[in-house]
């Protein structure tokens, strides 16, 4: 087992929980493993698939991801294939031939194929080493991504009574976990519930103000790095991608409204490092296994904490630091409510509202982001300070804003609760705009009393008052603000209002990211170029050749021999044989020029 880990995968030790899963599958025991993205789930079944006789069938909902997974397995010398609707009949026939002749260690299929009776009949003539269910949360109606096709997977244990079944997912609350166990009827399974903590991810929530400018600032702080920007609607995806392209960024859109050809082309460009940024709809599941995504920006509210966790989880899969930024404003809530209110099913609508309220609570909290996230999944985070979120890094603190809140409430009262947030902020800052003058609001007692703060400050405070249920916003296209009972107590100073204020953080400036170990950045860029050249020649994504982490390791330790190269994390014997000579030659040449 350890020999295969080193020779095939190039790793010298298991990551947490991997070894117990591998040992159980080698003993043919069922498994339910809930492990975070980047925790190395695929190795947990790929390693036993190499060692056990027969074929490991992997059922995955992401057709777009199958080719990448197969490319990655093949690059390690594993006999792997996929079977899905994207292939020609001849390609499918070849895979079936290899399957029936016992020439495959791994076969990836979609749940839709597993339902087909003729495919099940074929499986009855094949020696299966195990059946693996990827994205297992899709079987649960309590999960955030329920897929009816997944319900057919409950047949696995009856169809293959002597074959171990392993279910893997990165996101499952305790309720979803139990639902997976019940629906799959796993037999005395090993249950692994790994920590949901992704210590290499840095969480930051920023007040959303001129989102385009904020996104540009964040991209400028990550030059040439791969990232994903999530937007709620197809239109905002297209608009954002076009805006970024006009500013010179290599950005592409990705949503369900694009043709299959365009969507595939854009995804391929991103995977092959020919585009730096993908702008995607939150609603559309992205089949992207790219390990070197360095940032994820949510420019709109995610639908649920599970969605947020899964979407931010696409960053830093290689274990290197990555930034997750959420741009949040109370103004986004009505947009989300619009989609939720259109849901025909009452129970579904209620679930969506509850999920939204939890996302808003997460964005509004002044408690450590990591602790809040882990708490949602029923996990306790003991440290007082995670040192990797905006709250713990001390970029913000609670400030008493009771006096300023009274100014806002007074302006709402004096305008007879007939105006929206923008107009109230204009009154407080002493704006001379036409609407203020036409209504005579420049003669109000509250006119200009808040000019020592900018309009953004007052909009943020109004958001805080909405969040703390001091005021409310009416429904409709032009929402107006009105007071709730708590407002009276604040006007009488019977209650105080605290607001989280950002400290010493320049506009759009991201939180600091430090790569775990120092390395030669010039050599790293040369290694990246060589990796891209090899990947293009072979028609595979660059990260399938070597991950960024492996290149960082090479650029830090400067291996000059085959033996030294095998000590680099992610370099196994197959990859050394395939690519090692070219990388060693480059490192040798670089060292001769710079270190002699």
pLDDT tens per residue across span 325-350: 999 987 788 788 888 888 888 888 88
pLDDT at 38 over 80: no
366 vs 161: which has the higher pLDDT: 161
**Helical (H) or strand (E) element with 422:** helix 421-429
pLDDT at 506 over 50: no
pLDDT tens across 533-549, in order? 999 999 888 988 999 98
How far apart (Å, rounded) are the C-alpha atoms in residues 305 and 285? 15
How far apart (Å, rounded) are the C-alpha atoms in residues 407 and 337? 29
pLDDT confidence of residue 142: 74
Contacts of 581 (CB under 8 A, 6+ apart): none
pLDDT confidence of residue 254: 92
How far apart (Å, rounded) are the C-alpha atoms in residues 427 and 218? 32
Using a pLDDT cut of 90, give the percent of the chain over it: 60
Please, which pLDDT band fits residue 499 given cuts at 50, 70 and 90? Answer: confident
Closest to 328 measured CA to CA, from 371, 390, 384: 390
pLDDT at 571 over 50: yes
**Do 405 and 463 meet the contact criterion of CB atoms below 8 Å apart?**
no
pLDDT at 78 over 90: yes
Sort strands 481-483 and 471-473 into parallel, antiparallel or unpaired.
antiparallel
pLDDT tens across 472-484, in order? 888 766 789 999 9
Which structure tokens are listed for 304? Answer: 């649920």
How far apart (Å, rounded) are the C-alpha atoms in residues 270 and 252? 8
**Do 328 and 206 meet the contact criterion of CB atoms below 8 Å apart?**
yes
Please, which pLDDT band fits residue 507 given cuts at 50, 70 and 90? Answer: very low
The least confident of 35-44, 241-250, 498-507 is 498-507
For the chain, the distance separating the N- and C-terminal CA atoms, rounded to the nearest angstrom, is 41
Q: Give one DSSP letter per residue of 425-483, joined into a string.
A: HHHHHT---HHHHHTTGGGSTTTTTTTTS-HHHHHHHHHHHHHTTSEEE-SSSS--EEE
**Do 420 and 480 meet the contact criterion of CB atoms below 8 Å apart?**
yes
The least confident of 271-280, 354-363, 405-414, 417-426 is 354-363
How far apart (Å, rounded) are the C-alpha atoms in residues 291 and 271? 9
How far apart (Å, rounded) are the C-alpha atoms in residues 309 and 292? 17
Contacts of 505 (CB under 8 A, 6+ apart): 395, 396
DSSP 590: H
- The pLDDT of 254-272, averaged and rounded, is 89
Place of tokens 């679930």: 351
How far apart (Å, rounded) are the C-alpha atoms in residues 52 and 47? 9
What torsion, rounded to 10 degrees, do the Cα atoms 232, 234, 237, 242 define? -160
Contacts of 482 (CB under 8 A, 6+ apart): 412, 417, 471, 472, 474
**Do 55 and 126 meet the contact criterion of CB atoms below 8 Å apart?**
yes
3 state SS of 408:
helix
pLDDT confidence of residue 411: 96
pLDDT confidence of residue 467: 76
> How many C-beta atoms surround the C-beta of residue 481 within 10 A?
23
- The pLDDT of 171-196, averaged and rounded, is 91
479 vs 213: which has the higher pLDDT: 213
Place of tokens 């190395």: 40
Please, which pLDDT band fits residue 505 given cuts at 50, 70 and 90? Answer: very low
Please, which pLDDT band fits residue 555 given cuts at 50, 70 and 90? Answer: very high
- The pLDDT of 210-239, averaged and rounded, is 93
pTM here?
Answer: 0.76
Q: Can you name the residues that pair with 109 across neighbouring β-strands?
A: 59, 83
pLDDT at 7 over 80: yes
**Helical (H) or strand (E) element with 7:** helix 2-9
pLDDT at 188 over 50: yes
- The pLDDT of 272-276, averaged and rounded, is 93
Contacts of 506 (CB under 8 A, 6+ apart): none
Q: What is the mean pLDDT of the chain?
A: 89
Using a pLDDT cut of 70, give the percent of the chain over it: 94
Q: Provide φ and ψ at 110, rounded to 5°.
A: -85, 155
**Do 144 and 137 meet the contact criterion of CB atoms below 8 Å apart?**
yes
Closest to 314 measured CA to CA, from 268, 265, 278: 278
pLDDT confidence of residue 441: 96
pLDDT at 60 over 80: yes
pLDDT confidence of residue 285: 53
3 state SS of 504:
coil
How far apart (Å, rounded) are the C-alpha atoms in residues 126 and 282? 39
- Domains of the chain from N-terminus onward: 2-193 (3.40.50.300), 201-395 (3.40.50.300), 399-502 (1.10.10.10), 521-594 (1.10.150.80)
How far apart (Å, rounded) are the C-alpha atoms in residues 19 and 273? 33
How far apart (Å, rounded) are the C-alpha atoms in residues 106 and 99? 9
DSSP 285: P
Helix extents (H) in 166-285: 174-184, 211-220, 234-246, 260-271
Q: Give one DSSP letter per residue of 517-537, joined into a string.
A: S---HHHHHHHHHHHHHHHHH
DSSP 104: -
pLDDT at 504 over 60: no
């Amino acid at each position: 087992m350890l020999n295969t880990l080193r020779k095939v995968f190039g790793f010298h030790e298991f990551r947490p929980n991997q070894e117990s899963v591998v040992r159980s599958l080698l003993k043919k025991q069922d498994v339910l493993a809930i492990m975070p993205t980047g925790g190395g789930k695929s190795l947990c079944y790929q390693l036993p698939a190499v060692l056990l006789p027969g074929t490991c069938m992997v059922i995955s909902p992401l057709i777009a991801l199958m080719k990448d997974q197969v490319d990655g397995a093949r690059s390690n010398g594993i006999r792997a294939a996929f079977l899905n609707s994207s292939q020609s009949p001849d390609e499918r026939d070849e895979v079936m031939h290899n399957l029936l002749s016992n020439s495959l260690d791994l076969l990836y299929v979609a749940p839709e194929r597993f339902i087909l009776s003729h495919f099940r009949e074929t499986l009855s003539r094949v020696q299966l080493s195990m059946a693996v269910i990827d994205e297992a949360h899709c079987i649960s109606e309590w999960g955030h991504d329920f897929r009816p096709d997944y319900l057919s997977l409950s047949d696995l244990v009856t169809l293959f009574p002597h074959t171990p079944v392993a279910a893997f997912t990165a996101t499952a609350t305790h309720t979803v976990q139990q639902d997976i166990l019940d629906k799959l009827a796993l037999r005395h399974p090993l249950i692994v519930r790994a920590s949901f903590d992704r210590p290499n991810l840095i969480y930051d929530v920023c007040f959303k103000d001129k989102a385009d400018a904020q996104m540009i600032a964040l991209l400028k702080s990550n030059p040439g790095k791969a990232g994903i920007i999530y937007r709620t609607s197809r239109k905002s995806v297209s608009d954002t991608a076009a805006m970024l392209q006009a500013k010179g960024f290599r950005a592409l859109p990705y949503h369900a409204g694009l043709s299959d050809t365009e969507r595939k082309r854009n995804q391929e460009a991103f995977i092959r490092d020919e585009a730096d940024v993908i702008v995607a709809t939150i609603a559309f599941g992205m089949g992207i296994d790219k390990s070197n995504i360095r940032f994820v920006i949510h420019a709109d509210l995610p639908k649920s904490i599970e969605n947020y966790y899964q979407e931010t989880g696409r960053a830093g899969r290689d274990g290197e630091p990555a930034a997750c930024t959420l741009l949040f404003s109370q103004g986004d809530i009505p947009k989300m409510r619009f989609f939720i209110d259109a849901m025909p099913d009452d129970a579904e609508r209620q679930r969506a509202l509850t999920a939204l309220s939890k996302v808003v609570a997460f964005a509004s909290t002044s408690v450590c982001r990591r602790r809040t996230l882990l708490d949602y999944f029923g996990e306790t985070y003991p440290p007082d300070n995670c040192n990797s979120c905006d709250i713990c890094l001390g970029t913000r603190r609670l400030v008493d804003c009771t006096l300023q809140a009274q100014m806002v409430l007074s302006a709402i009262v004096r305008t007879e609760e007939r105006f929206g947030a923008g107009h109230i902020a204009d009154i407080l800052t002493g704006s001379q705009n036409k609407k203020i003058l036409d209504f005579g609001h420049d003669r109000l007692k509250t006119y200009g009393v808040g000019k020592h703060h900018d309009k953004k400050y007052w909009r943020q405070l109004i958001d805080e008052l909405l969040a703390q249920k001091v005021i409310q916003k009416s429904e409709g296209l032009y929402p107006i603000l009105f007071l709730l009972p708590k407002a009276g107590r604040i006007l009488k100073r019977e209650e105080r209002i605290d607001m989280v204020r950002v400290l010493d953080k320049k506009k759009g400036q991201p939180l600091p990211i430090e790569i775990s170990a120092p390395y030669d950045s010039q050599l790293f860029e040369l290694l990246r170029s060589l990796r891209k050249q090899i990947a293009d020649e072979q028609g595979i994504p660059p990260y399938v050749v070597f991950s960024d982490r492996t290149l960082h390791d090479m650029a830090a330790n400067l291996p000059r021999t085959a033996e030294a190269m095998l000590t680099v994390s992610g370099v196994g014997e197959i990859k050394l044989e395939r690519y090692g000579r070219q990388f060693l030659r480059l490192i040798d040449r670089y060292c001769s020029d710079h270190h002699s």
